[in-house]
Amino acid sequence: MKRSRSVTRILLGGLTASALAGAAAAQTAIPRVTTDSYYTNDAHIPGVGYYHAPFQAFFPHPYNHYDAQRRMYFYGGQWGSAPHRSIVNISAPTPDAAQRAEAMRTDIRRTGFGSSGRSHFVGS
């Protein structure tokens, strides 16, 4: 009887440790978007979009994306008749852009034991 209990403990302990290690590795493997992070034009983050260095923000299309139907170029959240020209090809996002990017990311699994979006009140 002692033998089976110790085996169960070892198995459960091993599973718990590997699950925690895997979750920690997954979180550390994907760098966060901060104002200290530098991105080049067209750096892509799933769920967020493409980084436009001259505008220090993420957008749904690559920098200077050409739409043949519109016959226009996309840059900085707007359409123009000619590509945007800038010597800036690397920059850090603004605080607002970094915060929005982190909230929109789809490449990070958010798991846990409940939801912070709900609350329960037990009145007396």
Partners of residue 31 on adjacent β-strands? none
Q: Where are the alpha helices (DSSP H) in 30-94?
A: none
pLDDT tier at 1 (50, 70, 90 boundaries)?
A: low
How is the beta sheet containing 49-52 ordered, strand by strand? Answer: 44-45, 49-52, 57-59
Domain ranges of the chain: 1-30, 33-107
Better-predicted residue by pLDDT, 10 or 40 = 40
Closest to 30 (Cα-Cα) out of 86, 109, 94, 123: 109
* Structure confidence at residue 113 (pLDDT): 57
For residue 36, pLDDT beyond 50? yes
The pair of three-digit structure tokens given for residue 114, joined into one six-digit string = 């409940």
Closest to 77 (Cα-Cα) out of 58, 94, 103: 58
For residue 33, pLDDT beyond 50? yes
For residue 92, pLDDT beyond 60? yes
* Structure confidence at residue 107 (pLDDT): 82
The pair of three-digit structure tokens given for residue 8, joined into one six-digit string = 């169960």
Q: Which of 11-25, 26-40, 68-82, 101-115 has the highest mean pLDDT?
A: 68-82
* Structure confidence at residue 26 (pLDDT): 47
For residue 21, pLDDT beyond 70? no
For residue 117, pLDDT beyond 70? no
Contact between residue 60 and residue 50 where contact means Cβ atoms under 8 Å apart:
yes
Better-predicted residue by pLDDT, 124 or 78 = 78
Distance of alpha carbon 34 from alpha carbon 74, whole angstroms: 24
For residue 82, pLDDT beyond 60? yes
Contact between residue 49 and residue 58 where contact means Cβ atoms under 8 Å apart:
yes
